Amino acid sequence: MRLRNQLVLAIGTFVLPACSAGSPAENANDAGTSDDGTVSLDAPPFGEAGARDSNLLDSGAVDSGSMNASPADSSPSDSGDSGLPGAPCTSDGGIPEGNPAELRCTGLYIDWANKILAPGVMQYTPGVVLWSDGAAKTRWLWLPPGTKIDTTDIDEWVFPIGTKIWKQFAVGNKIIETRLIWKQPDSSWTYLVYRWSDDGLSTYNLADGETNVNGSTYEVPATWKCTKCHQGRKDVVLGLDLIGTGIQGATGVTLASLTLQGLLTQRPPVTNIVIPEDVTGKAAAALGWVHMNCGVTCHNPNLTALGGYSGMRLKLLASQLFPEAGTAKVAHQDIYAMCANVPSRLLPNGHPYMRIAPGNSAQSLIPLVSLARDPEAGAFAPMPPLVSHVPDVADVKLIQNWIDALPDGGLPP
């Protein structure tokens, strides 16, 4: 697996780490609740390493299923009465002039000292997650009362004005940073990164980022880097989508809970999503990882996606998961149809790789560039090309195993 030294990273063949510098997935249980008529989930878990984010600093004070529970006349806020240094927060946790200087003023916690979540703030975990250099992640969502997520285009969710989404990163059981994306009245999104103090008692707004955190390779991204990944979505949000909330392993905010509580403008075809499987029995896990780490952020039909110019489409789409003709097939998903036996446009070290060479992962560009990182990538930019410095070896193995098990001639149409 040490082919990294030999590779040129083909531009347009890979992933960006969603404003993210740090985490694998956590052990996630089945979301459970679904209404009658939904498809039961029988796809395998995603990743040999499992879903492996940890829930550090989760107070458990708010039921993760109680959505939109905050008062209708305000956004979640912190009173500022934490006994810690710092000026009192604004009453609504808003952005009066500039950005909140501390995480405690963003509305995540109603009681900062005891880390009690504000009313309506819901912890969640996607069923398959973005790799973030091995950090453990915890995520929270807040939707303004009385609002819904616009799912007119089921592949491109649009979130209501005022939506707040936090993601916390911990390395070696030490919380390093918490990121916030916040939808503004003009439909733009504010990106904020909060660096935690060594004693874990306070945070400060870190706009310029930090490399080699605590002597490691971990990087806290500068906020300008966030848009490089998030711009691949119609409404910037990663992970809270049809696949992330709908497949086995999603917890907290799930497709079933969103549907049950009427928080989607259009009902999805089913609330338990099953990624199709093929004769190898290894496709679903591989496709789920590629979707989240490559397709959602970069390689999709959106013109704003950095990898869109490559012609590769690695995002799972509802029209292919629920074809009018009947059962979905792996061979009909863009991830396979646009990659299997398709030559790469670039020639790493002059070698003609296929995007996916059925039966031969060593000649397949997608898993190879997934493992490439500086400085081993040589003169070529790694994929993802920023923030990530450690490859997701365990989950890339899923892709390699699937490709190696594919019939030499490829799957039947």
Mean pLDDT by groups of 10 residues along the chain of 413 residues? 34 36 35 34 32 41 38 43 55 56 95 96 96 96 97 96 97 95 94 96 94 94 85 84 96 97 95 96 97 85 59 88 88 94 82 93 91 64 79 96 96 89
> Burial level of 302, CB count in 10 A (0-12/13-18/19+)?
middle
Q: How many CB atoms lie within 10 A of CB 197?
A: 11
Quote the CA–CA distance of 129 and 209 in Å, as a whole number.
23
Quote the CA–CA distance of 202 and 211 in Å, as a whole number.
20
The first and second tokens of residue 413, run together, are 């149409």
Q: What is the pLDDT of residue 324?
A: 78
The first and second tokens of residue 90, run together, are 């604004």
State which H helix or E strand residue 403 sits in.
helix 393-405
- The conformation of residue 11, written as its DSSP 8-state character, comes to T
Q: What is the pLDDT of residue 33?
A: 36
Q: What is the pLDDT of residue 349?
A: 75
Query: Can you give the residue ranges of every domain in the chain?
Result: 3-21+237-405
Q: Name, in order, each residue with C-beta under 8 angstroms of 171's C-beta and a sequence gap of 6 or more.
A: 22, 134, 135, 136, 213, 214, 216, 218
Q: What is the pLDDT of residue 386?
A: 80
Quote the CA–CA distance of 127 and 292 in Å, as a whole number.
10
Q: What is the pLDDT of residue 75?
A: 53
The first and second tokens of residue 159, run together, are 């979130």
Quote the CA–CA distance of 127 and 353 in Å, as a whole number.
31
Q: What is the pLDDT of residue 37?
A: 34
124, β-bridge pairs: 139
The first and second tokens of residue 207, run together, are 């706009």
7, 377 contact by CB (below 8 A): yes
Quote the CA–CA distance of 272 and 261 in Å, as a whole number.
15
Distance from first CA to last CA of the chain, Å, rounded?
31
111, 227 contact by CB (below 8 A): no
Nearest of 296, 312, 163 to residue 230 by alpha carbon: 296
Q: What is the pLDDT of residue 27?
A: 35
Q: What is the pLDDT of residue 76?
A: 56
Q: What is the pLDDT of residue 372?
A: 87
Q: Name, in order, each residue with C-beta under 8 angstroms of 379's C-beta and a sequence gap of 6 or more.
A: none
Quote the CA–CA distance of 261 and 284 in Å, as a whole number.
29
Quote the CA–CA distance of 210 and 204 in Å, as a whole number.
13
132, β-bridge pairs: none
State which H helix or E strand residue 198 sits in.
none
Q: Name, in order, each residue with C-beta under 8 angstroms of 251's C-beta and a sequence gap of 6 or more.
A: 28, 29, 31, 64, 124, 125
